[in-house]
């Protein structure tokens, strides 16, 4: 799997690629990441990559020519590396894009990779988008200063789904939104100490007794009940989606009826 990232700030990616549980995927080459700066493909002494927008208005717009040359360089590099099949899709992070969710992450995790375009300033010359962009993605209804954070989010989400990346191969199966949880939110988790004493003198807070019982069936029922309750309180639309898909059992519905 290979991701080529077009960014004016490649230095933002270096700490991410060298730290955390996913770094083994990058250092081993299981997930290849190549960084490309459009400024390296700009002309003139100043290597200019942006200019004022036609029609006036605030801010600057990323110019089309450096991006075209940068993309051509990526296509050549991928071809020389033996890229098979259709050309890698060019993904732009944009407010008009489809919101990135678990289903879309799973799709990219099962793909050969993509070219990720991180915009900056007021945006990118629309002619480049019309001519070259295949997919637009968004993290949600808010605006970032650039696409780098969105690209990092996609990389992290995709990489942790790769075989062998996490210490426990089944860890991501219990993540919120995962089909293994029927698309619901995950349950709470606890670790040592078994009883926590707040420093402000408030009453001691123990770990739920069932988690210390060693009774796996009871633990699984408790976790499912917690998952249902948390989802009902915080993301009820996920419950409706699971119900419409036939993923909720009669026991689940009984739990939800008690929750009210």
Q: Which residues are catalytic?
A: 95, 122, 160, 175
Could you give phi then psi for residue 114, rounded to 5 degrees? -165, 175
Strands 32-36 and 90-99: unpaired
Q: How far apart are CA 43 and CA 112, in angstroms?
A: 32
Secondary structure of residue 26 in the 3-state scheme: helix
Residue 207 DSSP class:
P
Structure tokens at 220: 């699984």
CB 94 within 8 A of CB 137: yes
Q: Cα angle at 8 between 33 and 124, to 5 degrees? A: 110
């Amino acid at each position: 799997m290979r991701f080529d990232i077009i960014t004016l700030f490649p230095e933002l990616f270096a700490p991410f690629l060298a730290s955390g549980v996913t770094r083994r995927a990058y250092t081993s080459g299981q997930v290849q990441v190549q960084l490309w700066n459009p400024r390296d493909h700009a002309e003139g002494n100043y290597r200019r990559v942006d200019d004022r927008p036609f029609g006036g208005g605030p801010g600057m717009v990323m110019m089309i020519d450096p991006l075209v040359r940068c993309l051509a360089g990526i296509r050549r590099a991928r071809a020389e590396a033996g890229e098979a099949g259709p050309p890698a899709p060019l993904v732009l992070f944009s407010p008009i894009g489809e919101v990135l969710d678990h289903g879309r992450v799973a799709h990219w995790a099962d793909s050969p990779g993509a070219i990720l375009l991180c915009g900056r300033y007021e945006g990118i010359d629309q002619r480049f988008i019309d001519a070259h962009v295949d997919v637009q993605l968004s993290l949600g209804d808010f605006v970032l200063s650039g696409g780098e954070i969105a690209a990092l989010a996609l990389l992290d989400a995709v990489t942790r789904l790769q075989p062998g990346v996490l210490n426990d191969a089944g860890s991501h199966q219990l993540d919120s939104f995962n089909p293994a949880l029927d698309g619901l939110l995950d349950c709470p988790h606890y670790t040592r100490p078994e009883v926590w004493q707040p420093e402000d003198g408030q009453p001691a807070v123990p770990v739920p007794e069932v988690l210390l019982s060693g009774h796996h069936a009871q633990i699984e029922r408790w976790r499912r009940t917690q998952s249902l309750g948390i989802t009902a309180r915080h993301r009820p639309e996920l419950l409706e989606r699971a119900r419409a898909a036939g993923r909720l059992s009669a026991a689940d519905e009984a739990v939800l009826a008690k929750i009210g």
